[in-house]
Amino acid sequence: MLMPMRGGRGAVLVITLLGMVLLAALVMFVVNVGQQVNRRVTVQHSADAAAHAAAGWIARGMNTVAMNNVAISQQIALVNVLDAAEDATRFTAGEMESLAEALEEQLGMGVPAISDGRGGGPAVRDVVEDLWEAMLVEMADQRDLLMGTAAAFDETDVREVTFYETPSGDHGRFWRSMSAMRSVSKVTMRQVGEMAQLAAVHAGRDNLGHELGEVVLAPMRPSVPFWVGGFDDFERPVKQGLLPEGVDDERDRRGPYDAAFGWRHLVREGGQFIPDFVQASNGGSGTVPIGSGAPVTGRWIPGEVTGYVTYGPQRWLLDQVWSFNRSTLRHSRYAARLARMASMKLRYLWPGDDDALSDVVLGSVVEPEWVTGYD
């Protein structure tokens, strides 16, 4: 008969207890590791949020400075154009008045006899008279428009707006505005580091949560280098739409206005006019080549794009005036006169150029990728 040994009692219980202890330790280890990973992820998210908030404030500050610089360069150009607009308007209004009076006097005397050599003189004379009468109506409308603009200048002393030293002894409103924007830019760059640090602290704390409130978050105050330029730094932006000397993008140097608004003129070489074969002028059938007396028609094939010329707010403003002149003041020389006078005033600001608006930079264009650069 076999009997169990008394010394083996409780062995299973010991093994079970030991296994439970090990299992509990493993569970506690897994839970602790999970908590540590969660804390690390939370802290990392908090640090990322702090960095993102700080970078956002730095970007806002730099955007403020950039837009202030753009606005200052636009106001400098507007000073030249608006200062020249008063004299250009008065001169052109007087010129249009004289031309309209001369044309009206000529119509009163009648159109001179015209002979076309084929007996059609009276018909041609009637056509010329109708054209003159239509031109007189258009010139009268354009004269009234210019006279109204000149009257508006009579009610406003432009010198109080455009002059640096006004007759009243103060700076002009445009120059005071530019000075205020410059001060805002300086204060912005001096305080942007502190604002970025405060934004980082708040964003980091908001992302930590209450359970990790004991974590210390102390982001450093970023230092953003900047320099305060002078008035001459606006010469290239106003004339050419480029950045000041020494701060160009060495890769393409397009300038802020070309990059943001596409302010450039394409430069082409060559080009060809392709004439069409036209219907015979004698009423016959078929077509006849050029030189038969029939009207010449065809199409122009532009040449290859070899480069581009960037321009700034001064040229942009004058281009708007040219467009207005073609559509509304086409019988006047207002746009040409304004462009010449504005260019002269631009030379007063930055003397030394023979032609203030011809000092341009030619960039190369490689199609079809449109890779820009300088030769």
Average pLDDT, the chain: 78
Q: Which residues contact 102 (CB under 8 A, 6 or more apart)?
A: none
Instruction: Output the CA torsion 137→139→140→142 (10° steps).
Output: 120
pLDDT (mean) for 276-304: 57
Q: What is the pLDDT of residue 75?
A: 92
Work out the percent of the chain whose per-residue pLDDT is above 70.
77
Q: Is the pLDDT of residue 85 over 60?
A: yes
316 against 122, higher pLDDT: 316
Backbone angles phi, psi at 353, to 5 degrees: -95, 140
Of the pLDDT bands very low, low, confident and very high (cuts 50, 70, 90), residue 254 is confident
Q: What is the pLDDT of residue 177?
A: 92
Nearest to 162 by CA among 84, 87, 229: 84
How many angstroms separate the Cα of 17 from the Cα of each of 10, 14, 21, 28, 345?
Answer: 11, 5, 6, 16, 98
> How confident is the model over 206-246, as pLDDT tens digits?
777 655 555 556 667 778 888 888 888 898 889 888 888 87
> How confident is the model over 325-336, as pLDDT tens digits?
888 888 888 998
Q: How far apart are CA 138 and CA 151, in angstroms?
A: 20
Alpha helices by DSSP H, the chain: 11-109, 121-155, 159-162, 173-208, 235-240, 256-261, 313-327, 334-349
Q: What is the pLDDT of residue 260?
A: 83
- For residues 311 and 240, is the Cβ–Cβ distance under 8 A? yes
> How confident is the model over 53-70, as pLDDT tens digits?
888 888 899 899 989 999
Q: How far apart are CA 30 and CA 27, in angstroms?
A: 5
> How confident is the model over 355-364, as pLDDT tens digits?
444 433 444 4
Q: What is the pLDDT of residue 359?
A: 39
Q: Please, what is the Cα angle at 91 between 85 and 95, to 5 degrees?
A: 135
Q: What is the pLDDT of residue 135?
A: 87
252 against 197, higher pLDDT: 197
Helices 173-208 and 11-109, packing angle to 10 deg = 160
Q: How far apart are CA 165 and CA 159, in angstroms?
A: 9
Q: Is the pLDDT of residue 372 over 60?
A: no
Q: Is the pLDDT of residue 201 over 60?
A: yes
Q: How far apart are CA 89 and CA 32, in angstroms?
A: 82
For residue 167, whether the previous peptide bond is cis, meaning omega lies within 30 degrees of 0, is no
Q: Is the pLDDT of residue 315 over 60?
A: yes
Write a three-state SS string for 280-313.
CCCCCCCEECCCCCCCCCEEEEEEEEEEEEECCH
Q: What is the pLDDT of residue 178?
A: 92
Q: What is the pLDDT of residue 256?
A: 82
Q: Is the pLDDT of residue 139 over 70?
A: yes
Q: What is the pLDDT of residue 96?
A: 87
Q: Is the pLDDT of residue 281 over 50?
A: no
**34-39 long-range contacts, CB within 8 A, separation 24+:** 39/212
Structural domain boundaries in the chain: 13-112+126-225
| Structure tokens that stand for 52 in this block | 């993102």
Q: Is the pLDDT of residue 287 over 50?
A: no
194 against 368, higher pLDDT: 194
Of the pLDDT bands very low, low, confident and very high (cuts 50, 70, 90), residue 78 is very high
Category of 110 on φ-ψ map: left (φ > 0), alpha (ψ -120 to 50) or beta = left
> How confident is the model over 3-55, as pLDDT tens digits?
555 555 666 777 888 888 888 888 888 888 887 888 788 778 888 888 888 88
Does the global pTM surpass 0.85?
Answer: no
- For residues 97 and 218, is the Cβ–Cβ distance under 8 A? no
How many angstroms separate the Cα of 167 from the Cα of each of 41, 58, 157, 171, 346?
Answer: 66, 41, 10, 9, 21
282 against 368, higher pLDDT: 282
Work out the percent of the chain whose per-residue pLDDT is above 90.
12
- The strand pairing partners of 308, in sequence order, are 266, 363
Kindly tell me the sign of the dihedral angle through the C-alpha atoms of 318, 324, 326, 330.
negative
Q: Is the pLDDT of residue 352 over 80?
A: no
The b-or-e profile of 133-168 (16+ CB within 10 A means b, else e) is eeebeebeebbebbbebbeeeeeeebeebbbeebee
- For residues 61 and 314, is the Cβ–Cβ distance under 8 A? no
How many residues are present in the chain?
375
